[in-house]
């Protein structure tokens, strides 16, 4: 039977984080563009040049500062206590949600429409879950590190778990699942304030995120 080419989709690819989070988005976007899809890459302003250099459309995500984020996770800011860190993350996350919604819905510079039909998101960009529901868009999560325990790769947020346990087993990446499920519990739910969606219990959000 003859095959038909599916119509091109408007695809939003989004992440928060460092260059290592941005690069997979660019690679995926370029491959999808080869098939005729319309792709917009939404990540921090810091990564604009590297995204646009590869011929991808860029949209800035506000909020999390990649340099401060890494300094926090690597323990380079010892003066910041847990309460202060949580408040800072919550304020950042509100900006992330608002700017990601704009990335999914704002028209192009020439005025032509962009409304994401598909969202490809890093696991940390958790606002994508609610935005996809609001738009009725297909959602695909990817992750740049394993979300299940493995001695082959240390969880980047688990620097406090270096060493060995009582059985002399390396603790590398033992924290993947607990840390992954704990992160959304500390963040505000964008569903109620900005997206006017019905409430979703934190436990349900964690389950939908696949952690």
Query: How does pLDDT run across 54-76, given as a tens digit for each residue?
Result: 999 999 999 877 676 666 555 55
Cβ atoms < 10 Å from Cβ of 55? 11
pLDDT at 74: 52
Q: Which two tokens stand for residue 164?
A: 């060995």
| DSSP assigned state of 77 | -
Query: HSE on the CB side for 170, CA within 13 Å?
Result: 11
pLDDT at 154: 62
pLDDT at 112: 92
State the pTM of this model.
0.76
Cβ atoms < 10 Å from Cβ of 127? 28
Identify the segments of the chain with pLDDT beneath 50. Answer: 77-80, 160, 163-166, 192, 202-203, 205-207, 210-211
pLDDT at 206: 46
3-state secondary structure of 155: coil
Query: Which run of H or of E encompasses 69?
Result: helix 66-73
Give just the sign of the alpha carbon dihedral 100, 189, 173, 80: positive
């Amino acid at each position: 039977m003859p095959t038909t080419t599916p119509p091109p989709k408007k695809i939003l690819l989004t992440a928060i984080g460092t260059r290592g989070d941005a690069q997979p988005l660019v690679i995926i976007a370029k491959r999808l563009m080869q098939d005729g899809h319309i792709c917009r890459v939404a990540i921090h302003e810091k990564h604009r040049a590297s995204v646009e250099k590869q011929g991808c459309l860029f949209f800035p995500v506000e909020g999390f500062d990649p340099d401060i984020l890494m300094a926090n996770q690597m323990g380079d800011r010892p003066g910041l206590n847990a309460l202060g860190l949580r408040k800072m993350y919550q304020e950042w996350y509100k900006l992330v949600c608002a700017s990601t919604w704009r990335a999914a819905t704002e028209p192009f510079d020439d005025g032509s429409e962009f409304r994401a039909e598909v969202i490809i998101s890093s696991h940390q960009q958790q606002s994508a879950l609610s935005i996809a529901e609001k738009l009725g868009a297909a959602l695909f999560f990817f992750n740049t590190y394993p979300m299940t325990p493995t001695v082959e790769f240390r969880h980047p947020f688990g620097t406090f778990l270096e060493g060995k346990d009582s059985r002399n087993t390396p603790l590398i990446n033992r924290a993947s699942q607990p840390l992954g499920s704990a992160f959304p519990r500390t963040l505000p739910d964008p569903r109620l304030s900005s997206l006017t969606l019905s409430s979703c219990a934190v436990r349900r959000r964690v389950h939908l995120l696949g952690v």
